[in-house]
Amino acid sequence: MREVYASTRDGEMALVDWDDAAKQQFLDQQFRAQSEHWAINHGGADFDLILVDGDPIGRLYVERSDEEIHLLDIAVLAAHRDSGVGTRLVRELMDEAERAGLPLRLHVEMFNDGARRLYDRLGFTPVAERGLYVLMEWNPAGGKS
């Protein structure tokens, strides 16, 4: 999970003039803080590794309730991006949401154009802006909103 987290920060780490040890220390601290946040605020969520041929290539965090399915986080290692794995996993959540008659919701960073294009293509609709994030929603036909 830590390696996947670090991969999501590659762009930021490329911008700082730190040695590798300082970058690792920073990423370790940030990963611990994020993990603690998820555990405190979303303790009932599923925190899963994405595996391909037994090798970890990403993470998928999903929280389910009677009102919604909330995709908290999906991250795929750079070497496996654009392979369709993320799309497949989101479509599986859409199928689950359709069976349950619930909306599938997620937050995406405003500047994450790649993720925004994916969610737009899959039929998600922006419903609110929250700081640096856009709340997006997909509703199955006839589902609750």
Q: Judge whether 103 and 97 are in contact, CB under 8 Å.
A: yes
What average pLDDT score do residues 69-93 get? 92
With cut-offs at 50, 70 and 90, classify the pLDDT of residue 144: very low
Percent of the chain beyond pLDDT 90? 68
The model's pTM is 0.85
Q: Judge whether 57 and 76 are in contact, CB under 8 Å.
A: yes
Is residue 109 located within the same domain as residue 144? yes
| Cα-Cα-Cα-Cα dihedral sign, residues 99, 101, 102, 103 | positive
Is residue 68 located within the same domain as residue 86? yes
CATH code of the domain covering residue 116: 3.40.630.30
Q: Is the pLDDT of residue 145 over 50?
A: no
Domain extent for 76: 45-145
Distance CA 14, CA 74 (A): 22
